[in-house]
Copies of this chain bind each other. A is one copy, B any other.
Amino acid sequence: MFTKLERTKVFRDPLYGFITVDYKIIADLIDSREVQRLRRIRQLSGVSMVFQTAEHSRFTHSLGVYQMANLVCENVEGMDTISEYEKIVFLCSALLHDIGHGPYSHAFEHTTLENHENMTVKIILNPNTTVNKILTRASSTLASDIASVIAHDNRFPLIESLVSSQLDVDRMDYLSRDAYYTGTAYGHIDYLKILRSMKVVSNKLLVRASGVHSIESYLMSRYHMYFQVYFHPVGRAYECILESIYKRIKDLYLERGYFSDSVRAFLNVLNDSNDIESYIEIDDAYVNGFVKAFTKSEDPILNKLSNAFMDRHLFSYIDLNDEPDEDLVEAIKEKYDNENKKYFYYDVSVSAVAYLHAKKSEIYDIKVLLPNGKIKSLDAYSPIIKSLADFSKTIKRIYYFED
């Protein structure tokens, strides 16, 4: 039995009206410094350079994912068959799934070579973190079970699929939320209808045939959000500068073995990705802080990049899909020799599918429950998804820095 709060705690949210917290462990986790740190990391990194109103943090998203998990427990038929312990594993996994994110996460991962899921697992398992202490106090197995869900160990397949799959509480929150904050029309999904069409049977998540249209619509929304928002060329141009700055710091450090104090925590993490104490210190403000300091760096490359970041002097780009002048593209490519290429030139290629088909990944497939009780894969059931079986879209761009 997990302790309940005397009176339900609520957080206002424009998407759900209220986010409600009944369990003490959830309230404690929200107050932990590892979760609070997410207030200082923007959800969409460089995207707010284009969609300036998308300034929301990973914290508000994390609360939203938790609330979506709540809504799953309340609305999905069959969810009452799971135990309270499993429910807590689910709610905590939803809340904590992003605590491993660094600032400007994409560029950060490229430099540290650690993905954020791994970092989330490390933070949950590290006995010195507040999160770990709260979990362990409540139950000795809780931290490792949640870590298992995040790591996709297949020990809690239902919860795993609810937390991270092609149709999960994470995506359902961020599509709606990012649409709300950017002001675009693409991410509107009919989550209430989706939840009502889901059914848990024998510990498996199914979708009733009558709900398939809302699933198709959700998949299309996700696809459009990718190309309209997440892959927006200007957002990426901003992240290119940052990736180069990270890279240059790393190179200078490897070369000289010494660096200014302002990046100590960052270097600690580069040296040892288990240094959670340092990792937690790093947030958007930390990065903005050292970049600001490096605008006066004596290293000409770091100096140039840091000033570019502060003055929003972004990388230029050419979209190769739009039939650009080939001579121009060649001329640009030639201009960047090897050393320059490292910091001042990027070939970027981003791809997305509308749906990852069963033949590519059985475990990610969405299963449809027909009125007659049969179960079919979404591929087989939905004509439009079937037509998109071999579809994927790739955008290729070159990014280059002009003085």
Contacts and interface: CB of A to CB of B under 8 A. Distances in A.
A216 interface: yes
Interface in A365-397: 370-372, 374, 383-384, 387-388, 390-393
Contact of A324 (B17, B285, B372): B372
Interface stretch (A105-113, A118-126, A143-151, A175-183): A175-183
Contacts of A312: 31, 36
A68 interface: no
Nearest to A212: B227
A17 B183 contact: yes
Contact of A213 (B180, B224, B354): B224
A298 interface: no
Contacts of A209: 322
A60 B55 contact: yes
Nearest to A233: B210
Interface stretch (A5-13, A89-97, A153-161, A340-348): A5-13
Contacts of A391: 383-384, 387
Interface stretch (A79-87, A163-171, A187-195, A243-251): A187-195
Interface bin, chain A: 35 or more
A257 interface: no
Contacts of A12: 51-53, 182-184
A282 to B, nearest CB: 12
A40 interface: yes
Contacts of A223: 384
A141 to B, nearest CB: 28
Contact of A11 (B52, B186, B288, B371): B52
B196 A190 contact: no
A168 B400 CA distance: 39
Interface in A11-37: 11-15, 17-18, 31, 33, 36
24 contacts: A12-B51, A12-B183, A13-B53, A13-B183, A14-B180, A14-B183, A17-B183, A18-B192, A39-B48, A52-B59, A52-B60, A55-B57, A220-B224, A223-B384, A281-B292, A319-B371, A322-B371, A322-B372, A323-B374, A324-B372, A354-B384, A383-B392, A384-B391, A387-B388
